[in-house]
A and B are shown apart, each in its own frame.
Chain A
Amino acid sequence: MSERRPYRRPMQPHWWANPPYRAYTLRELSGVAVAIYGAVLFAGLISLARGPESFDAYLGFLRSPLSLLLHLLLLAAVLFHVVTWFQTLPKTMPKVIVDGKQVPPQTITQIATLAAGACSLILLLFTLWVAR
């Protein structure tokens, strides 16, 4: 008699592949790219534990065009992750008040993205310097 029949807005079956949701889907998938790079390192650790021959085979894979292409795609996806990660940062952290004024979200995003770029650059230069 009093059966609830709430209105449910119809959703397209592939809503996640179309705007405006596509941007969110891409952002979330960049997290999967992060995990795929984790899997590449994990595979290296397995072959390292199995011995020199196994690790040489792993190095052979890393030098293959397929792997280089994969890492180029992973690099692009992770750069996208860096940008979107710091775009969401101001929404997930407490407000920052300086001199009684709230620091605008864009400023936080800019500073954090620059700091992340500096971190990666320092790690890169440090590695090149140590290995020279």
Chain B
Amino acid sequence: MSEAVQEKRSISPIFWLLFGAGGMVSALFGPALILITGLLAPTGTGLPESFESYGHALAFAQNPLGKLILLAVISLFFWHGAERLFLTLKDMKAGPLLVLKLGTYGVAALVTLATFALLLSIGF
């Protein structure tokens, strides 16, 4: 009985967890992140020109805490978008489920692995 129950267990909660974590992180810090990296730093508003320089970005990506932040933000934001896009396209009956899954969860999984590999290749 318990085996039968276990077989039926869905892996959806894993995706919900990643979706929820990404949604919460982006809701709490997303506006400030976009403002800082996308608007204030590139225009030099309130931040020095060197804020986003290669040296500073490299130092951030080499720091263990910086690595953790980059991995969490990039991968969770992708997982969040993947879940929402997948369920919307599924409701729209936009295509075969396998294609939709590969195009959303698949992309998020690839980006997560690639981010992990890039952060390792950048070194400590």
Contacts and interface: CB of A to CB of B under 8 A. Distances in A.
Contacts of A28: 84-85, 87-88
Given A31-B23, A38-B81, A128-B46, A48 B122 contact: yes
Interface string A30-41: 111111111111
Interface residues of A, number: 52
A46 B122 CA distance: 10
- Chain B: interface size category: 35 or more
B27 A85 contact: yes
Nearest to A55: B54
Contacts of B52: 59, 62
Do most interface residues of chain A lie in helix, strand or loop, or is the interface mixed? Answer: helix
B39 A71 contact: yes
A35 to B, nearest CB: 2
A41 to B, nearest CB: 5
Contacts of A36: 81
Interface in B1-53: 20, 22-24, 26-39, 41-43, 46-48, 51-53
Contacts of A49: 118, 121-122
Do most interface residues of chain B lie in helix, strand or loop, or is the interface mixed? Answer: helix
A45 B78 contact: no
B70 interface: yes
B68 interface: no
A78 B23 CA distance: 10
Contacts of A79: 31
A67 B38 contact: yes
Interface of A: 16, 25, 28-42, 44-46, 48-49, 52, 55-56, 59, 62-63, 67-68, 70-72, 74-75, 78-79, 81-82, 85-86, 92, 115-116, 119-121, 123-124, 127-128, 131
Interface of B: 20, 22-24, 26-39, 41-43, 46-48, 51-54, 57-58, 61, 70, 73-78, 80-85, 87-88, 91-92, 108, 111, 114-115, 118-119, 121-122
Report the 3 A-B pairs with minimum CB-CB distance, sorted nearest first.
A35-B81, A38-B77, A71-B38
